[in-house]
A = this chain, B = another copy of it.
Amino acid sequence: MRKVAIVGGGLTKFGVRKATYKELAQEAGKAVFEDVPNLDKKDVDSLFLGSAASDRMAFQSYPAPLVAEQVGVQPNKVIMRTELACASGQAAMRAAYGSIASGLSDIALVMGVEKMNTPNMAETQTTMAAVMDREWDGVNGMSAPPFFALVMMRHMHEYGTTREQLGMVSVKNHDYSASNPFAQFQKKFTLEDVINSVEISKPIRLLDCSGITDGAGGIVMTSEDRAKEFTDTPVYIEGLAQCNMGSLVSNLPSLTTWKPMKKAFRAALMMAGKDIYDMAFAEVHDCFTIAEIIAYEDGGMCKKGEGGKFIEEGNPYVGGRLPVNTHGGLLGTGHPLGATSIAQTVEVIEQFRGEVPEERYVGGEWALTHNLSGNANVHSVLVFRRGG
């Protein structure tokens, strides 16, 4: 099995963009090839595209060759789109990992592209509801905000997690996204702003939610032996795991303890031979504030039920015990489904290279990214090591 390296990447500006799906792909492709100037497009033999909602939101049901054409590559080893809702980008990285590690692909472009702001936002909402089991959960109004509202309410009830502790996650992540040029929300908020923002699905308020975001990004993955052709600071994937449990909401064993998350963190770290506290920082899937609180717990950073205390005591901040979401998370940068994992990975690249603003610079040798998808029934984790 060949070791797999990431040699560079780039993003579009995230936000409510006037660009179309294809224009976002073009813009991201340009950013990637500018970041990896030694890479000839002809040498890209594989394209893995993470895109969750192109069918319904961009009206494109076969976006992989569309994106290939937009960025100017003609893969002759592998081309496919991967979908795993909010983790679609990490699914693309995982498929690319297997393809490179096995020797099937040599140089893979891994893209994430999502166009979510459309003239008809009812269609966007309808699409998001289709993520749940339509026949049981979807028809009963279960989509992301109501599901995570149940989780938040239950967590507050079981563990005494406070409104303020939850709000601190949003404040922290917006603090970091304020200095992230790609972020949808380059603005800081106070705890009061969060707590008094409009109620979306009780007890979730607007600033507990990540955005509805247009955005795209890409990274270049290759084998260890090729990596040095393109960069002095390759990023190696040293661990990866993905665990699933259930689909229907009523079949989930618990709303507040995410067993597949615990398993995925443990397995990915074990593969890398590391502990969570060996990580210099972690980018976790904060689609809602409560998700980051649970990530502290089920990601092994603190005891169950102490996620609120964990942030209150200053641990997940830059300079704290384990900085979390240094790029601003999904709360701050936005959440263009398929592009989200790519943005997390670009943060890892830039941290390792020392290309982030000083106020949120961590650097280090090891980092972890995490995505959940759907009703938190699948968790995907990657562990990275700084090479060079």
Contact residues of A with B, CB < 8 Å? Answer: 1-2, 20, 22, 47, 52-53, 55-56, 58-62, 64-66, 68-70, 74-85, 91, 94-95, 97-105, 127-128, 130-135, 138, 240-248, 251, 260, 263-264, 267, 373-374, 377-378
Contacts of A47 in B (CB 8 A): 244
28 contacts between A and B (CB under 8 A): A1-B102, A1-B103, A2-B102, A55-B127, A55-B130, A59-B134, A61-B83, A61-B131, A62-B85, A64-B244, A65-B374, A65-B378, A68-B247, A74-B243, A74-B244, A74-B246, A76-B242, A78-B98, A80-B82, A80-B94, A81-B82, A81-B84, A81-B91, A95-B95, A95-B98, A95-B99, A98-B98, A98-B102
Contacts of A264 in B (CB 8 A): 76
CA distance A22 to B260 in the complex (A): 23
- A65-B1 contact in complex given A98-B98, A130-B55, A267-B76, C-beta closer than 8 Å: no
B residues less than 8 Å from A58 (CB atoms): 134
Question: Which 10 A-B pairs rank lowest in CB-CB distance, beginning with the nearest?
Answer: A98-B98, A101-B102, A69-B247, A55-B55, A98-B99, A102-B102, A80-B91, A61-B130, A62-B85, A62-B131
Residue in B60, B74, B77 whose CB lies within 8 Å of A130? B60
Q: Is the beta-carbon distance between B75 and A134 smaller than 8 angstroms?
A: no
B residues in contact with A373, CB < 8 Å: 62, 65
Q: Would B104 and A103 count as touching, CB distance under 8 A?
A: no
Q: Closest residue of chain B to A75, judged by CB?
A: B244
Residues of B within 8 Å of A77, CB to CB, are 241-242
Residues of B within 8 A of A130 (CB): 55, 59-62
A74 close to B104 (CB less than 8 A):
no
Asked whether B244 lies within 8 Å of A68 as measured between CB atoms, the reply is yes
Asked if A65 and B244 make an inter-chain contact with CB atoms under 8 angstroms apart, the answer reads yes
The minimal Cβ–Cβ distance linking A26 to chain B, given in whole angstroms, is 12
Interface SS majority for chain A: mixed
Expressed in whole angstroms, the Cα–Cα distance for A133 and B70 within the complex equals 11
* Given A65-B378, A79-B244, 4 new contacts (CB under 8 A): A1-B1, A64-B84, A69-B248, A76-B242
Q: Tell me, in angstroms, the Cα distance from A77 to B91 when the chains sit together.
A: 12
* Cα–Cα, bound, A104→B81 (Å): 20
How far apart are the CA atoms of A20 and B263 in the complex, in Å?
A: 32
B66–A61 touching, CB < 8 Å: no
Listed residue (A52, A65, A83, A99) with the most chain B CB atoms within 10 angstroms of its CB: A65
Cα A307 to Cα B134 with chains together (Å): 46
Q: How far is the CA of A52 from the CA of B263 in the complex (A)?
A: 30
CA distance A153 to B81 in the complex (A): 31
Smallest CB separation, A359 vs chain B (Å): 36
For A84, the closest partner residue in chain B by CB is B80
Q: A59-B134, A75-B244, A130-B59 are in contact. Are A65 and B98 (CB under 8 A)?
A: no
The CA of A275 and the CA of B191, in the complex, are separated in Å by: 68
Instruction: Name the distance in Å between A321's Cβ and chain B's nearest Cβ.
Output: 29
Question: In the assembled complex, how far is the CB of residue A248 from the closest CB belonging to chain B, in whole angstroms?
Answer: 7
- Interface contact A62-B79, CB-CB below 8 Å: no
- The minimal Cβ–Cβ distance linking A249 to chain B, given in whole angstroms, is 11
